[in-house]
Amino acid sequence: MRADGRRENETRDIRIERGYVKHPEGSVLITFGETKVICTATIEEKVPPFLRGSGQGWITAEYSMLPRATPTRNQREATKGKVGGRTMEIQRLIGRALRSVVDLKKMGERTLWIDCDVIQADGGTRTASITGGFVAMAEAMHKLMEKGVYEKIPLTDYLAAVSVGIVSGAAVLDLNYAEDSTAQVDMNVVMTGKGEYVEIQGTGEERPFSAPELTNMLSLAKEGIDYIMGKQRESLGEIASQIGDLVGQQS
Amino acid sequence: MRADGRRENETRDIRIERGYVKHPEGSVLITFGETKVICTATIEEKVPPFLRGSGQGWITAEYSMLPRATPTRNQREATKGKVGGRTMEIQRLIGRALRSVVDLKKMGERTLWIDCDVIQADGGTRTASITGGFVAMAEAMHKLMEKGVYEKIPLTDYLAAVSVGIVSGAAVLDLNYAEDSTAQVDMNVVMTGKGEYVEIQGTGEERPFSAPELTNMLSLAKEGIDYIMGKQRESLGEIASQIGDLVGQQS
Amino acid sequence: MRADGRRENETRDIRIERGYVKHPEGSVLITFGETKVICTATIEEKVPPFLRGSGQGWITAEYSMLPRATPTRNQREATKGKVGGRTMEIQRLIGRALRSVVDLKKMGERTLWIDCDVIQADGGTRTASITGGFVAMAEAMHKLMEKGVYEKIPLTDYLAAVSVGIVSGAAVLDLNYAEDSTAQVDMNVVMTGKGEYVEIQGTGEERPFSAPELTNMLSLAKEGIDYIMGKQRESLGEIASQIGDLVGQQS
Amino acid sequence: MRADGRRENETRDIRIERGYVKHPEGSVLITFGETKVICTATIEEKVPPFLRGSGQGWITAEYSMLPRATPTRNQREATKGKVGGRTMEIQRLIGRALRSVVDLKKMGERTLWIDCDVIQADGGTRTASITGGFVAMAEAMHKLMEKGVYEKIPLTDYLAAVSVGIVSGAAVLDLNYAEDSTAQVDMNVVMTGKGEYVEIQGTGEERPFSAPELTNMLSLAKEGIDYIMGKQRESLGEIASQIGDLVGQQS
Amino acid sequence: MRADGRRENETRDIRIERGYVKHPEGSVLITFGETKVICTATIEEKVPPFLRGSGQGWITAEYSMLPRATPTRNQREATKGKVGGRTMEIQRLIGRALRSVVDLKKMGERTLWIDCDVIQADGGTRTASITGGFVAMAEAMHKLMEKGVYEKIPLTDYLAAVSVGIVSGAAVLDLNYAEDSTAQVDMNVVMTGKGEYVEIQGTGEERPFSAPELTNMLSLAKEGIDYIMGKQRESLGEIASQIGDLVGQQS
Amino acid sequence: MRADGRRENETRDIRIERGYVKHPEGSVLITFGETKVICTATIEEKVPPFLRGSGQGWITAEYSMLPRATPTRNQREATKGKVGGRTMEIQRLIGRALRSVVDLKKMGERTLWIDCDVIQADGGTRTASITGGFVAMAEAMHKLMEKGVYEKIPLTDYLAAVSVGIVSGAAVLDLNYAEDSTAQVDMNVVMTGKGEYVEIQGTGEERPFSAPELTNMLSLAKEGIDYIMGKQRESLGEIASQIGDLVGQQS
C-alpha cells in the first residue's frame, strides 16, 4: 500500500476534458491526480526552414509551468530571459514522442504546435503532457479532416506516457510528487497502442538499478499505459476510431 | 444594444472562483465573459533591495498569456528571451494599482507576488487581473491573519478595475475583444471602494476625445466598478468584512 | 507659491531649439526648465512587416536617458542587455501619441523614427519628449514636402503634452523632479490643437483622487498645453502654418 | 558485418590519454574512433547556493562542440547568446551520471567542474564525455588525495557509457555518425562497475521498438561497457585500484 | 591642402565646454570639428569585486552613440540587447588609457565612471572621448579634493588622444569622417603630457604601411597632442596646475 | 637571459601541425611554447548581407578559449549568454588582419570562417591565432584551387603576428604568460611577407613608453616574424609557393 492508498500498479485518477479553451484547434485539460496540464494544439500553415518544400509536416512542443504550479514559487522563464535546461529537455521529449506516431508526409507542409502549460504540479507533468498532447493533436487533425484537408487523420497509432519508479525499494506506477522526490529510481516510458516503446528514460537518482528492477518497472508501465489509453479513447469519442489501422484490436 | 446584446452600462458575466489552484496562499479563477485569468498570490518573506530594513512590504505583479489564449498563437516571451512592452506595461499597472490599497508599513517586510496568467483572452484581461488579483491578495493576507501574523488585514479599501470606451460613437462599459479592436477610444479605470480614482488610462486610438465623452466614460466606469465590487465581496465571504474601515457603508 | 516660485498654473521655462544635431531629417533640443531632451526624426523608406503593402506609414519612438541625466548614475540598458519596463512604457506612449495626429495613409509606406534622448532629467521627460518629438516630426515631414514627396504635411493637428499633479494637496502644472517625487497624484495629459484628449494617464501615487481633483488637473493641463503649443508654433516658424486644417483658429 | 568492418558487439578503437592539457586538476583526451573529446576536471572550493553549509560536494558538467567538430560548421552558442536544448540535455546527463558514483558527503563542500569539449565528432560524443569525464574526475580527486585532503578517493564505483541502437534491423554497439544518422532506434546506457544501470535513454527515432529488441540492446551495452572500463582502468594506472570497494574483482 | 582646407598637421576646431550637464561630478561637451561628445564623470564609493579590500581605485569607461549621431540611423544597442564589438573595443581603450595616468592607490577604493555619449559623429569619436574624458575625470577628482578627500588630485600626468592616418598617400592629422572612410591607414595615438606613448593602434585598412610612414604619422600625432593638451589646460583653468609633477614644464 | 632561458630576440618553440581535425577545409594545431590553438577554416558559399551581389568575398574570425585553457577556470561565454569585450576585440583583430592579405574580389562571393579555439593558454594566443589562421586559410583556399574554383590562391602575401614588450625594463620577443602579466609595455605586431605593418597595437600597461623603446620593440618584432614565416612556409609545403607574387624572394 502506498502513502495515498494506491496499489503499486495503480495510476492516480486520470481525467481528460476536451475543449477546455475555446480558441485553439485542439485543447485539453488533463489531470493525473493533482497534476493539471492544459494542452493545446495549434495548426500553422508553414514549416521550419529545414523542411520547406519537402511536402512534410512537423510537430513542435512547448512546455511551461505557471509560477505557482508548485509548492514554492518558481521565477518565470520569460523574466529570467531564457528557457531552462529542464524545460528544454521536457519539450524536446514531448515533441519527439508525438512525432513518432504521426505520418509526417501525409500530414502535409504544416506545423502542429503543442503547448503544455502546467496549472498545478504534483509529479508526472511530462507524462501528462504527452498523454494530453496526443489528444489535443488528434482533435486538431480531426478538425482538418472535417475541413476536407485529410481523408484520414495522419496518426499511425495511439501514444501515451506514464512514469514508474522504485520508491522505498518497491516498483510503483505513476508517482506523485511525494513519491517522486524520494524515489531511488525514476523512469518515464512512452508507448504506442501496439505496445511498443517510443521512449524509455530511466535514471538511478539515489542508486543504480538492476536488470530485474528494470523488468518490473517496464511491466508496470505497460499496465499503466493500457489503462491510460482507455481514457484517451473515451475522451476522443468518435474520433478514437479514426486513428491508426488498429481500431479493432484496440477497443 | 451592443453586438452581444448588452446595454451600454452592462458588464459581461463576472465570476470569481476562489481556491482554483491548491499550492498558492491565495488563488482565483476570474472570468469576465469569455476572458479567463488565473490570479495567484504568493507570500515571500523578503523584500526587494530598496526596502530591506525599512520594515515595509511590497506588492509585485507579473502578467502573462498562454500562447493560445488568443485566436492566433502568440510566441512565448520565454522563447523570445524577453518580456514585451505590453506585458511590462500591464504588470506595472497591476502592481501599482494593488499597492495603492495596501498599508505597506502594516504589511511588514514581506513581498506579495501576484501572478496573473490569462488562460483565455476576450478583451479586458488587465482589468480582470486587477480585480482578481485583489481577491487573491486578500485571501493570502487573510491566511497570514489566521496564522497570527496580522491582527487585521492590511488593506485600506476595496479595489477593482473595468474598461470603458467609445465604440461606434457610443460610450460603453466592459468591452469585449470585438468591441475593443474597433473602439475609437479605450480607457481603463481603477477605483477604490470609496469611489475614488487610483488609475485612469485613456487613449484616443482612432481619434481624440472630448471632455463630455470623458465624463460619460467615467460615469459608466463608476457603475461597473460598483457592480464588480459586489462580486468581489460575495466571493470573499467572511473575509469581505475585514477589509478597510468601510464595512458598513459598502455592504 | 511653489518651491521654485512658480504659480500653480505656470509651466517652467520652455525652449525648443531646432536643428540641434546635423544628420537627422528633423532634430530639436527641447528644455522644460532643467529637463533637456534631444529629439530627432529619421525617415526610413520601409515599414514594419504588419504594414508592408498597405500603402500606410508608421511612427516608432524610442526613448533613453544618458546614465548621468539623473542625480545618481543609472546603468545603461545596453549594458543590462534589455530595455526596462519604464522605458518601454514611455516609448510606447510617445509613439502612440504622435501617431494620433498623423494621417498614416497620406504619410505613405515609410517609417518615422522619433528618438528621444534625455541629456538632463528634472521631471517631465516624457511630456517634453512628446512635445519636442512633434516638432522634429513636423520638420522631417516638411523636408519631404520640400522634396516634392508631399503636397502638404500629413499632420492633422498639433500635439503637445504636459504633466499635472497634486502636490501638498494642491493641483499644479508641469511638475519638476522635486515636486514629482513627492506628488500625491501624478497625471500626464496629451492634447491636440483642437483641445481634445489623446492620452490621459493619471495615477494616485500616494492616495486615490476624487472627481473634483481630476477636473482641476485637467483644467490646468489645458492651460499648459495652450501655452506650450505657442512655443511649438514659434519654433516651427513658417512650417507652423502647414499643419492641420486649423491654421486660422490656431495662430 | 558493419560498414566499417566491425562486428555487431564491437566498439570502435577507444583511447584515453591522460594529462592532455596542463592547467586542469584532471584532463583527458578520449577518442572513440574518430570522435575526440577533451575532458577536464576543475576543483572549486565552493558549492552552489543550495548546498552551502551542507558539508556536501557537487559535480557540474558542461559540454560544447567546436564549430568544426562536425562536417558542416555549427554556429557557436556564445555567438547565439544561449545554450541550446541538445547541449543542456547532454550536460545535465553527464553531471547526473557522474554524481551517481560520487559519495558527495565524503567529497566535502567543493565543486568538481567537468568540461567536455568535442574536438571532432563522429557519433557517441555524450558517451565518450561520460567515460572520459569519469577518468578526469578520478584524476582530480586523486590529486586532492595526494594533498592529504582525502584518505581515499570518494568514488563508490566505476562508471562508463556506451551507445547501442538498431541499424538496418540489427542491434549494434557504439554507433558512429553514419550509423547513428540512419538508426531506427538509438539508446545510451550508463553503467557502474558492478553492472547496474545508472541511465537508460532509448528513443525510437524511426519506429518504436519491441521488448526483445530492448533486451538485445541492453546485452550489447553490457559487453561494451565491460570493455570500456578495462580501458579506463588501464589509463588510470595506479589510481585504478583506489576506486570503490571493488578493487579485487575489478582488476 | 585637404578637402576641408586644413593643412596636413592641423587639427579641426577643438572646444571643451565644462559643466555641460548639471548632475555629474565632472562633465564636458567636447567638439572636434563636427564631432560632439558628452563626457561625464561619476564617483561611486565602491570598486569592482577583484579590487575589494585592496585600497585601490578603478576607472571604468562606457561609450555610446545616439542613434542619429550618424548620417544613417543606427539601431540602439539596448534594443539589440547587446553591446557590439566596436563599442566594447572603444570603451576598453578609453578606460585603459585613462587609468594609465591615475595613481590608483592614491585614488582610494572608489570607482570613476566615465560615460562618453556621442551626440554627433564626424570621425575621431574615440580620441575626442579620451581627451574629453580626461577633463571630466580631473574635474570630478578636483571636486573630491575640495571636499578634503584628496590633498592633491591623483593624476600623474596629462593625457590626450588624436587620430592620424594616410589619406590619398599623404599622412594627415585628426581625420574627419570623409577622410577616415577612405584612409589607407588609420592610427589612434594616446600620449601623456611628457610626450610618451600610452596607446598606439595602427591598422592598414586598405594596404600595409611601411616604417617611414609610421614615423611620419607618429610625428604628426605628437604635434596634434601638444595642441590638444593646450585646449585641455585652458578649459581646466585653475585645476590645470594641480595635475602631475610637471606643472612648470607644461604651462 | 629570460626566466625560461631564452634570449631577448628569441621566440618560443613554434610548431604548426596541419590537418589536426578531419572535417574542416583547412585545420591547424599551432603551438607557441605552451600555448596551443586549433585554427580551422570553413568555406561557406555565401556572404554577409552588405556584400551580397558584390562579387566579393569575406573573412570572419571567431576566437574562444576552453574553460581550462587557463590556470583557473573561466566561465564559458555561452553560459554567460554573451561574448566578452576581450574576445570581441581579438576576433575583430584576427579577421581584419587576415583580410588584409586576401584579394577579396578574386576570392569570389563566399565567406571563409576562421575559428581559433585555444586549448591551452600561456600568452600570445592572439598572435598564434593569426599565424595559424593564415595557414588554415591558405589550406582551404588551396582546396578550392584543386577543385578548379581558383587558378591561383587569392592571397597577396604572407601574414604572421608576434608579441613584443618591455619586461623588467628590457624589450623582449614573444612573451609567455609569466612575462606578459608583469610586462610594463605590451605590443602585438602583424606584418606581411614584404615586411610591412598590417597592425600595431601597443599599450603602456604599467607605464607609458618612449619613442626609442618603440623602435626597439618593432625591430624585435620584425626578426620574430621572419622566423615565424619560415615555419609557416615549412608547414605549407608545396602550397607555400602559390602565395603572392613574391615566391622567389620568400623561399
Q: Nearest Cα to E193, choosing from E146, E161, E239?
A: E161
Q: Mean pLDDT over residues D128-138, rounded?
A: 98
Say yes or no for a CB contact (<8 Å) between B89 and C91. no
What whole-number distance in Å separates Cα of residue E124 and Cα of residue E121? Answer: 8
For an interface test with F, give the residue of E50, E89, E188, E190 to mutate (most F CBs within 10 A): E89
Å from D212 to nearest chain F CA? 38
A92 assigned binding-site residue: no
Say yes or no for a CB contact (<8 Å) between E44 and C73. yes
Give contacts of F96 with chain E, Cβ < 8 Å: 203
F224 assigned binding-site residue: no
Say yes or no for a CB contact (<8 Å) between F200 and E197. no
What whole-number distance in Å separates Cα of residue A177 and Cα of residue A162? Answer: 14
pLDDT in tens, F134-188: 999 999 999 999 999 999 999 999 999 999 999 999 999 999 999 999 999 999 9
Taking the CA of residue E222 as centre, how many other CA atoms within 13 Å lie in the half-sphere pointing to its CB?
12
Longest dimension (CA), chain C: 56
The sign of the dihedral angle between the CA atoms of D46, D49, D52, D58 is: negative
Q: Which chains touch F (3 or more CB pairs under 8 A)?
A: D, E
Closest chain D residue to F36, measured at CA: D21
Closest chain E residue to F159, measured at CA: E208
What whole-number distance in Å separates Cα of residue A58 and Cα of residue A48? Answer: 8
SS3 (DSSP) at C20: coil
Say yes or no for a CB contact (<8 Å) between A78 and B77. yes
Look up residue A209 and give its amino acid.
Answer: F
CA distances from E201 to C102, E94, E217 (A): 49, 13, 12
Band of residue E246 on the pLDDT scale cut at 50, 70, 90: very low
What whole-number distance in Å separates Cα of residue C72 and Cα of residue E146? Answer: 20
Other C-beta atoms closer than 10 Å to the C-beta of F54 total 12
What whole-number distance in Å separates Cα of residue D163 and Cα of residue A131? Answer: 28
SS3 (DSSP) at B208: coil
Grid coordinates representing C98? 504622435
Statement: residue A246 has pLDDT above 80: no
Say yes or no for a CB contact (<8 Å) between F203 and E199. yes
Domain boundaries, chain F: 14-238
Statement: residue E242 has pLDDT above 90: no
Cell 566579393 appears where? F56
pLDDT in tens, A94-111: 999 999 999 999 999 999
Q: Nearest Cα to A112, choosing from A86, A87, A144, A88?
A: A144
Q: Nearest Cα to F129, choosing from F115, F143, F112, F111?
A: F115
Q: Nearest Cα to E158, choosing from E127, E196, E126?
A: E196
Give contacts of A69 with chain B, Cβ < 8 Å: 21, 23
What pLDDT shows up at residue C205? 83
E58, β-bridge pairs:
E111
CB D153 within 8 A of CB D138: yes
Statement: residue F248 has pLDDT above 60: no
What pLDDT shows up at residue B245? 62
DSSP secondary structure letters along E24-66? SSEEEEEEETTEEEEEEEEEES---GGGTTSS--EEEEEEEE-
Statement: residue F250 has pLDDT above 80: no
Give exposure, E49-65, as e/b (b: 16+ Cβ within 10 Å).
eeeeeeebbbbbbbbbb
Q: Is the ipTM of this complex over 0.90?
A: yes
What whole-number distance in Å separates Cα of residue B15 and Cα of residue A250? Answer: 42
Pairing relationship of beta strands B185-192 and B159-167 according to DSSP bridges: antiparallel
CB A208 within 8 A of CB A177: no
Grid coordinates representing A37? 496540464
Say yes or no for a CB contact (<8 Å) between D120 and F23. yes
What pLDDT shows up at residue A206? 86
CB C240 within 8 A of CB C24: no
Å from C65 to nearest chain E CA? 10
Cell 522634396 appears where? C147
For residue E249, what are the contacts with CB-CB under 8 A and spacing of at least 6?
Answer: none
**Nearest-by-Cβ selection for B201 from C84, C201, C204:** C201
Say yes or no for a CB contact (<8 Å) between B198 and C204. yes
Other C-beta atoms closer than 10 Å to the C-beta of F181 total 12
Statement: residue F215 has pLDDT above 80: yes
What whole-number distance in Å separates Cα of residue C62 and Cα of residue C40? Answer: 10
CA A34 vs. chain centroid, Å, equals 16
Give strand ranges (E) for C11-157: 14-18, 26-32, 35-44, 58-65, 111-120
What pLDDT shows up at residue F150? 96
Statement: residue F3 has pLDDT above 90: yes
Instruction: Specify the length of chain A in residues.
Output: 251
Say yes or no for a CB contact (<8 Å) between B203 and C96. yes
What whole-number distance in Å separates Cα of residue E148 and Cα of residue C243? Answer: 57
Statement: residue C3 has pLDDT above 80: yes
Give contacts of A196 with chain D, Cβ < 8 Å: 204, 208-210
Other C-beta atoms closer than 10 Å to the C-beta of E44 total 14
Give the percent of chain D with pLDDT over 90: 94
Q: What topology is assigned to E14-238 in CATH?
A: Ribosomal Protein S5; domain 2 (3.30.230)
Say yes or no for a CB contact (<8 Å) between B73 and A42. yes
Q: How far apart are the first and last CA of chain F?
A: 31
DSSP secondary structure letters along F32-89? ETTEEEEEEEEEES---GGGTTSS--EEEEEEEE-GGGSSSPPPPHHHHTS--HHHHH
Look up residue F181 and give its amino acid.
Answer: S
What whole-number distance in Å separates Cα of residue A65 and Cα of residue A76? Answer: 8
What whole-number distance in Å separates Cα of residue C178 and Cα of residue C168? Answer: 12
What whole-number distance in Å separates Cα of residue A121 and Cα of residue F201? Answer: 58
CA F47 vs. chain centroid, Å, equals 22
Specify the DSSP class assigned to residue D186: E
Statement: residue E201 has pLDDT above 90: yes
CB E158 within 8 A of CB E250: yes
pLDDT in tens, A118-171: 999 999 999 999 999 999 999 999 999 999 999 999 999 999 999 999 999 999
As annotated, the binding site of D for phosphate includes 86, 124-126
What whole-number distance in Å separates Cα of residue B144 and Cα of residue B107? Answer: 10
Q: Nearest Cα to B184, choosing from C100, C156, C108?
A: C100
Grid coordinates representing C3? 518651491
Å from E77 to nearest chain F CA? 13
Statement: residue E114 has pLDDT above 80: yes
Give strand ranges (E) for A98-239: 111-120, 159-167, 170-173, 185-192, 197-204
**Nearest-by-Cβ selection for D78 from F34, F77, F119:** F77
Å from C102 to nearest chain E CA? 22
What pLDDT shows up at residue C245? 62
CA distances from F37 to B247, F30, F120 (A): 76, 5, 7
Q: Mean pLDDT over residues E106-124, rounded?
A: 98
Angle at CA of residue C8, ends C4 and C12, nearest 5°: 50
pLDDT in tens, F71-96: 999 999 999 999 999 999 999 999 99
Q: Mean pLDDT over residues C216-237, rounded?
A: 97
Report phi then psi at D187, rounded to 5.
Answer: -140, 135
Report phi then psi at E168, rounded to 5.
Answer: 50, 40
Say yes or no for a CB contact (<8 Å) between F24 and D68. yes
Statement: residue E247 has pLDDT above 70: no
Sequential pLDDT tens for chain B (251 residues): 899 999 999 999 999 999 999 999 999 999 999 999 999 999 999 999 999 999 999 999 999 999 999 999 999 999 999 999 999 999 999 999 999 999 999 999 999 999 999 999 999 999 999 999 999 999 999 999 999 999 999 999 999 999 999 999 999 999 999 999 999 999 999 999 999 999 999 999 889 999 999 999 999 999 999 999 999 999 999 999 889 864 344 43
Q: Which chains touch A (3 or more CB pairs under 8 A)?
A: B, D
Statement: residue D128 has pLDDT above 90: yes
pLDDT in tens, F216-226: 999 999 999 99
**Nearest-by-Cβ selection for F200 from E82, E192, E200:** E200
Say yes or no for a CB contact (<8 Å) between B73 and A44. yes
Taking the CA of residue F249 as centre, how many other CA atoms within 13 Å lie in the half-sphere pointing to its CB?
10
CB C118 within 8 A of CB C36: yes
What whole-number distance in Å separates Cα of residue A97 and Cα of residue E8? Answer: 71
Instruction: Specify the length of chain C in residues.
Output: 251
D207 burial (CB, 10 Å; 0-12 / 13-18 / 19+) is middle
Say yes or no for a CB contact (<8 Å) between F117 and D66. yes
Q: Taking phi first (over 0 means left), then psi (-120 to 50 degrees means alpha), and beta for anything else, what does residue A55 get?
A: left
What whole-number distance in Å separates Cα of residue D246 and Cα of residue F80? Answer: 41
Enumerate chain F positions whose Cβ falls within 8 A of a Cβ in D: 21-24, 27, 34, 36, 38, 40, 42, 44, 62, 64, 66-71, 73, 76-83, 87, 113, 115, 117, 119-120
Å from E99 to nearest chain F CA? 9
Give the percent of chain E with pLDDT over 70: 97
Give strand ranges (E) for chain A: 14-18, 26-32, 35-44, 58-65, 111-120, 159-167, 170-173, 185-192, 197-204
Q: Nearest Cα to B216, choosing from B176, B238, B185, B177?
A: B185
Look up residue D12 and give its amino acid.
Answer: R
As annotated, the binding site of D includes 86, 124-126
Enumerate chain D positions whose Cβ falls within 8 A of a Cβ in F: 21-24, 27, 34, 36, 38, 40, 42, 44, 62, 64, 66-71, 73, 76-83, 87, 113, 115, 117, 119-120
**Nearest-by-Cβ selection for C23 from E78, E80, E120:** E120
Band of residue E245 on the pLDDT scale cut at 50, 70, 90: low
What pLDDT shows up at residue E1? 83
Å from E91 to nearest chain F CA? 9
**Nearest-by-Cβ selection for D76 from F36, F78, F120:** F78
What pLDDT shows up at residue D245? 62
pLDDT in tens, C26-55: 999 999 999 999 999 999 999 999 999 999
Statement: residue E64 has pLDDT above 50: yes
